[in-house]
């Protein structure tokens, strides 16, 4: 474990935030000549809405890039030997950068793919239970939003089970809460029964 000074950690967190803030969905849709992704579907810049506006291939590329921008800062920090607490701070900042990107007046995506990226770099073993919950719920109920919210809840629970420190648990709980908060409209629609499933009959509203 490499000791790190407060200014160095602050600089690393800023770098993680800026890395997470790159709005790949918006950029890719514009480069593809499809206009502003925020003007279509749910208005979200994430992979789901990009797929809706620009096609599945563009959505997959967006998903991979959003995962990568979360993975990279935590992976680099890990290579430098930072503690799990410091890595968790980098992870939180990367997700915050995606959700509150300064380039879009602090209006970003919902953080699911970026949270997946930081989790993969932090402890890849914590991703499998969360991914399993996501897939099971998606197959059972067909709602991406429900699977995403519950998968986010699983991440700190896995760390709790693995004996992570209180600070690490707190930081990952913050990541989960951010993802859940960004899904508040979807949660409202789920409760009303108007959320659109990934396949099958569509509801009145659109999930993003």
In a domain, 179, yes or no: yes
pLDDT of 201 reads: 55
In a domain, 198, yes or no: no
Residue 61 has pLDDT above 70, yes or no: yes
Contacts of 122 (CB under 8 A, 6+ apart): 74, 78, 84, 87, 88, 91
In a domain, 119, yes or no: yes
The reported pTM is 0.91
Q: b/e per residue, 121-132, with b = 16+ CB within 10 A?
A: bbbeebbeebee
Other Cβ atoms less than 10 A from the Cβ of 181: the count is 13
CA distance 134 to 166: 26
In a domain, 112, yes or no: yes
| Residue count (the chain) | 208
pLDDT digits (tens, 9 = 90+) for 113-164: 999 999 999 999 999 999 999 999 999 999 999 999 999 999 999 999 999 9
Confidence of residue 202 (pLDDT cuts 50, 70, 90): low
Number of domains in the chain: 1
In a domain, 135, yes or no: yes
Contacts of 76 (CB under 8 A, 6+ apart): none
Q: 70, 155 in Cβ contact below 8 A? A: no
pLDDT digits (tens, 9 = 90+) for 172-198: 999 999 999 999 999 999 999 999 888
Query: Which structural domain range is residue 14 located in?
Result: 6-192
Q: What is the mean pLDDT of residues 47-61?
A: 91
In a domain, 1, yes or no: no
Confidence of residue 40 (pLDDT cuts 50, 70, 90): confident
Q: 29, 36 in Cβ contact below 8 A? A: yes
């Amino acid at each position: 474990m490499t000791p790190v000074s407060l200014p160095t950690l602050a600089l690393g967190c800023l770098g993680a935030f800026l890395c997470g803030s790159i709005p790949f969905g918006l950029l890719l849709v514009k480069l593809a000549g499809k206009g502003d992704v925020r003007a279509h579907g749910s208005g979200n810049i994430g992979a789901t809405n990009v797929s809706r506006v620009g096609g599945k291939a563009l959505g997959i590329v967006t998903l991979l890039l959003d995962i990568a921008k979360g993975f990279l800062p935590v992976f680099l920090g890990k290579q430098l030997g930072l503690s799990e607490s410091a890595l968790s701070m980098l992870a939180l900042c990367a997700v915050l950068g995606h959700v509150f990107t300064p380039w879009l007046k602090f209006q970003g995506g919902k953080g699911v793919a970026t949270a997946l990226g930081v989790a993969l770099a932090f402890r890849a073993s914590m991703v499998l239970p969360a991914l399993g919950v996501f897939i099971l719920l998606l197959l059972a109920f067909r709602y991406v939003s429900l699977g995403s919210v519950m998968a986010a809840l699983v991440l700190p629970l896995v760390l709790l089970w693995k004996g992570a420190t209180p600070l690490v648990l707190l930081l990952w709980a913050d990541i989960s809460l951010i993802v859940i908060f960004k899904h508040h409209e979807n949660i409202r629609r789920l409760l009303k029964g108007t959320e659109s499933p990934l396949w099958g009959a569509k509801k009145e509203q659109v999930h993003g």
